[in-house]
Amino acid sequence: GDSVTQMEGPVTLSEEAFLTINCTYTATGYPSLFWYVQYPGEGLQLLLKATKADDKGSNKGFEATYRKETTSFHLEKGSVQVSDSAVYFCALSDSSEYGNKLVFGAGTILRVKS
Amino acid sequence: NAGVTQTPKFQVLKTGQSMTLQCAQDMNHNSMYWYRQDPGMGLRLIYYSASEGTTDKGEVPNGYNVSRLNKREFSLRLESAAPSQTSVYFCASRGVLSPLHFGNGTRLTVT
């Protein structure tokens, strides 16, 4: 079945450092890909998405590019802030833009120190 | 703007007890979902309801039942709680062309 693999955390960075969180997927067909963020004590929120190969999703300084050839959707940010500390989840859905069922990765904890 | 509201926020049960987790959304969304979140495993889908009057099993439905009471409300019931059901439970809803909107979760401990 479909699956998502994320790099294990926690990832600890100093403020203004460059961030990469790796995400690879296995899926039949052409899934849509997502990054969700979970701040402490809250539910998940959509951070960005990409629906087809070579699409780049971006939001709040975060970016991720849908790479079909490497089945990857790595999350990047050029300069992290303390407020970015959260858990980040990579996810995929079936071929429709949002799909009826999302498959999530295990999540990566990001801690940013001032 | 309430969004997705879950109750209770915390619950402790003894093995064998039953309880119902409540979820309501005010965004007029058709689809609603129940996920559980466990360390190292991400979120796994328990049940979902694509529209009012329908429910379907997700990845981990055993030990749970659901009711789509109306368009707004989607409840999750544990008939006989087990320690393996200790988890954080999230309800979510989605419109036709929109991403999932999550509630803030219910932290359940079964002793």
pLDDT for the residue A97: 60
Contact state of B97 with A97 under an 8 Å Cβ cutoff: yes
Question: A15 CA to chain B: closest CA distance, Å?
Answer: 26
* Cβ(B34)–Cβ(B23) below 8 Å: yes
Per-residue pLDDT tens digits for B33-88: 999 999 888 899 999 999 998 999 999 999 999 999 899 999 999 999 999 999 99
Residues of A in contact with B90 (CB under 8 A): 43-44
Q: Tell me which residue in B42, B58, B97 faces A101 most closely, judged by beta carbons.
A: B58
Residues of B in contact with A108 (CB under 8 A): none
Instruction: Indicate the burial class of A6 (C-beta count within 10 angstroms; 0-12, 13-18, 19 or more).
Output: buried
Min distance A37 CA to chain B CA atoms (Å): 11
Q: What is the pLDDT of residues A37-92, one digit of tens each?
A: 999 888 899 999 998 999 999 999 999 999 999 999 999 999 999 999 999 999 99
The whole-number pLDDT of residue A100 equals 67
B103/A8: higher pLDDT: B103
Contacts for B93 with CB less than 8 Å, ≥ 6 apart = B4, B25, B27, B29, B31, B32, B33, B74, B100, B101
Confidence band, pLDDT 50/70/90 cuts, at residue A95? low
Q: Which helix (H) or strand (E) holds B91?
A: strand B87-94
B97: chain A residues, CB-CB within 8 Å: 97-98
Banded pLDDT at B13 (limits 50, 70, 90): very high
